[in-house]
Structure 1
Amino acid sequence: MKKILIFVAMLSPVLGIAQKKLVYPKSFDLIVGAYTSGNSKGIAVYRFYTETGRLAYLSQIDNVSNPSYLAVSSNNKFVYAVNENDNGEVSSFSFEPKTGQLTFINKVSTLGGSPCYISVDKNQKNLFVANYSGGNIAVLPLNEDGSIAPASMTLKDNGHGINKERQEKAHVHTAVLSPDEKYVLYTDLGTDKINITKYKGGKNNQIVPATPAFVSVKPGYGPRHLAFSNDKKYLYLITEMGSSVIVFDYNNGKPKQKQDISLLPDGFKGATGAADIHISPNGKFLYATNRGDANDISVFSINPENGELTFIDRKSTGGKGPRNFVIDPTGKYLLVANQNSDNIYVFQIDEATGKLIRVVSRIEVGNPVCLKFAPAM
């Protein structure tokens, strides 16, 4: 019997019994959110080809005001977009992956001004929206047809930071679900905090402050975006004003800071504005963009033993104002939205070192600020 078991174990990689290699589609839909105050009129959709890193235009839906951040439902049927205006709204669209067509469904208030971030839970029950100028997070229930119901609750942050121009009041910047979706974390650039809430679901009080209800970072840092490690043990924060990445141990809604690493080269004295942060699909590397006079993306390796970062490389994003970026699911390409130069650059990733080794393509897009991938079925 032992010999038979050993023989089967040896054959298992061939038969696919013990090891299963991930098979990715050859193409994805790239959905692009933008500011419509410039050369864009709405949300554009492109077909992205994983074999070449090339993009082909599919469609665009116009007359969508400032769809600056997007979320795609887990069933790939709906796209949600904030309308980053003073009155604050969020729009829903049905999505057809084969053609890339978006169809407007409805729009509702976010109960706060300048919504700049949106996320949706896996069960398609609620949207979570960060209202930047409103200084609050809003929860909006979803209907089965993808339409958005009126906001069911908000949580408002209070206070201010040491920078009188940028931190005169609360400025909520993200609303991110933890990997187990037991918590919703939202950053506040104005008060230098990551706020932590328990996600209860249901119809009433979907989120409630956790214990502790927040963690603070260095005054004047301006917390912006968050990313969880693939093993869910670590949380990474990019600080817009501090131009740094902060590493936290993460355990059941309790982040504990352990490292603070700069995005800037020694002696840098220009304007900055750190923007986005993501981790490679293989979990080995972290990437972070910086705007202002930097206009670059930094690459770090992730220590698998403790989650800490080591700087690897820094590369120009090819344009100005690198706002949002995305790594394709195969891990071979990184796409950067350069807001102020109206283009998207596609970089090839060296999967062994994590470095961006060359530009494989670029497209002209008006004011791109958010990139989201969806399977092209």
Structure 2
Amino acid sequence: MLSPIQYFLCVALLSGVACSTLLTGSARGADQYRVYVGTYTRGSDSKGIYQLLLDSKTGKLTHVDVTENVVNPSFLAIHPNQKYLYAVNEITDFEGGNSGAISAFSIDSANGKLTFLNQKDSRGGSPCHLVVDRTGKVLLVANYSSGTVCSFLLEEDGPLTGLKSISRHLGSSVNPQRQQSPHAHSINLSPDNTRAVVADLGIDKLVVYFFDPQEGSLIPNGFREIKMAPGAGPRHFAFHPSGKWGYVINELDLTVTAMDYNQKTGELDIIQNISTVPAGTKRKGNSTAQVLVHPSGKFLYGSNRGPNTIAMYRIDQKTGKLTSLGYQPTGGAIPRNFNIDPSGTFLLAANQDSNNVVVFKIDQKTGLLKPTGHEITVPKPVCIQFLPVSATP
């Protein structure tokens, strides 16, 4: 994770290569990574948020701890200062109402244990994604079932304070089962921390907001929303480290859409749509989930649920367009989420229905994934976040 100094250098340089080098260089000093795994607890054997330890040389995972009595902590975010962790509680009945919640925890620097700080109403049903802004002062949340996005201020010592802004999406799209109403599925901040991109599966759009980190507010950008193909179902979004391009993975039509990103205006222009599965694969019963750009900016990865694979792509460094590198089986069922360690060495796939997290090594030249033989059992894993443990001098 970038230190504040490294972050501001990246913004000043506006260079994906420079940012990647800073991130990779610092992360490679880590001997181990704490791996926090968000899970579904309702209707499963999961007890809450699991803490694992990843050996940065071998890729071996070991169990360390579990923070219990956290309901459906399906997505996690770590504060830039690495002292706090935030989790959505993906429910619709918080305190007897129709909303979900967000929980804040402090992280013990010695052992990684989580201590509960406080909890707030997420101001919408089924919160499914959240992110802390680069200043560490604001938490942004996407609520799936209500189609709302919110911002909350954070205290300096970690707890959530009051709601700062809320926006409700409107509309629908062509899929009668999944798109009768808005479903905000993810919220991501631009590299310069000035705009938030929300992928809304229910209305087949990306909605771009101005973000004011001083006020903590989300403000509609004012220009046209970016429309995906009817029935595409945009789910998760990722910026390229250079800030030149953005990529959205579409859950319902099994595609990735590549876009040019205008850093001055915040506009996104579609340049390519590419499948996440081989030709002839049926859409029915299958879906996509996560999308991530490798820290080097050279490769992109997306997960397929049903086929149970990671789609791999090379990114053209001049145009941002994608070339398929093939498909790597995840070693389990329904890879709802995966993440890449900060050094870009390993990819960890969270297989929700087979209750396992599987480790792959990333070939730095080709971008291909190679099974390490390491995996670990975690009940209903649905989110992975990394935290460096120690650094060699």
Q: Same fold (TM over 0.5)?
A: yes
Distance 1:149 1:268 in 2: 47
Which amino acid in structure 1 is aligned with residue 365 of structure 2? Answer: A
Query: Residue 279 of structure 1 aligns with which residue?
Result: 293
Once residues 120 and 258 of structure 1 are traced to their aligned partners in structure 2, the CA distance between those partners, rounded to angstroms, is: 29
Distance in 1 between residues matched to 2:108 and 2:159, nearest whole Å:
16
* Kept after mapping to 2: 8 A contact 1:125/1:143: yes
Q: How far apart are 1:232 and its partner, in Å?
A: 1.0
Q: CA deviation at 1:74?
A: 0.4
RMSD: 1.4
Aligned with 2:386: secondary structure?
A: strand
Answer yes or no: is the 8 Å Cα contact 1:162–1:220 preserved in 2.
yes
Match of 2:308 in 1: 295
Are 2:130 and 1:122 equivalent residues in the alignment? no
1:111 shift after superposition: 0.7
AA aligned opposite 1:131:
N
Q: What is the one-letter code of the residue matched to 1:347?
A: F
Q: Deviations over 1:9-68 (max 9, x none)?
A: xxxxxxxxxx99924211111010000021211001111111100112221110000000
* Equivalence for 1:39: 45
Q: Is residue 233 from structure 1 mapped to residue 244 from structure 2 by the alignment?
A: yes
Q: Is the 8 A contact 1:109 1:151 kept in 2?
A: no
- Computing the radius of gyration over CA atoms, which structure comes out larger, 1 or 2? 1
Partner of 1:55: 61
Counterpart in 2 of 1:340? Answer: 353
Residues 109 and 150, structure 1, Cα contact 8 Å, conserved in 2: no
Deviation of residue 213 (structure 1)?
Answer: 4.8
Shifted more, 351-360 versus 219-228: the winner is 351-360
CA shift, 1:359, in A, is 3.1
Superposition TM-score, scaled by structure 2 size: 0.88
- Once residues 353 and 313 of structure 1 are traced to their aligned partners in structure 2, the CA distance between those partners, rounded to angstroms, is 11
- The one-letter code of the counterpart of 1:78 is Y
SS in 1 for 2:353: helix
Q: In structure 2, what is the equivalent of residue 365 of structure 1?
A: 378
Cα offset, 1:268, TM superposition:
1.3
Gaps of 5+ in 2: 1-20, 93-98
Which of the numbers 107, 121, 125 marks the counterpart of 1:95?
107
Q: Which residue of 1 aligns with 2:33?
A: 28
**Structure 1 residue ranges without an equivalent (≥5):** 1-18
Aligned 8 A contact 1:195 1:215 in 2: yes
CA distance in 1, matches of 2:292, 2:199: 16
Q: Aligned residue pairs: how many? A: 357
3-state SS in 2 of match to 1:311? strand
Moved more, 264-273 or 239-248: 264-273
Q: Corresponding residue for 1:221?
A: 232
Superposition deviation, residue 313 in structure 1: 1.5
Deviates further, 300-309 or 143-152: 143-152
For 2:229 and 2:141, how far apart are their aligned partners in 1? 25
Cα deviation per residue 1:124-157 (whole Å; 9 max; x = unaligned)? 1111000000111011111112000132221000
- Preserved contact between residue 197 and residue 213 of structure 1 (Cα < 8 Å): no
Q: Relative to structure 1, is the Cα distance of residues 30 and 97 closer, same or farther in structure 2, using a 3 angstrom cutoff?
A: farther
Shift in alpha-carbon separation, 1:298–1:113, aligned structure 2, 3 A:
same
- Alignment partner for residue 260 of structure 1, among 270, 273, 289? 273
Kept after mapping to 2: 8 A contact 1:70/1:81: yes
CA contact (8 A) 2:193 2:213 kept: no
Name the CA distance, whole Å, in 2 between partners of 1:187 and 1:125: 23
1:211 is paired with a residue of what secondary structure?
A: coil
C-alpha distance in 2 between matches for 1:300 and 1:70? 26
Which amino acid is the alignment partner of residue 40 of structure 1?
S
Deviation at 1:181, TM superposition (A): 0.6
**Counterpart Cα distance in 2 of 1:365 and 1:213:** 42
For structure 1, which segment, 269-278 or 111-120, has the greater mean C-alpha deviation from structure 2 after superposition?
269-278
* TM-superposition CA deviations, 1:165-220 (whole Å, max 9, x none): 1001000001111110110111110000000010113347x111113152111010
User: Retained in 2: the 8 A contact 1:325–1:334?
Assistant: yes
Aligned partner (choices 338, 362, 365) of residue 325 of structure 1: 338
> Does 2:367 match 1:354?
yes
Q: 2:213 aligns with which of 189, 197, 201?
A: 201
Aligned partners of 1:283, 1:202: CA distance in 2, in Å?
29
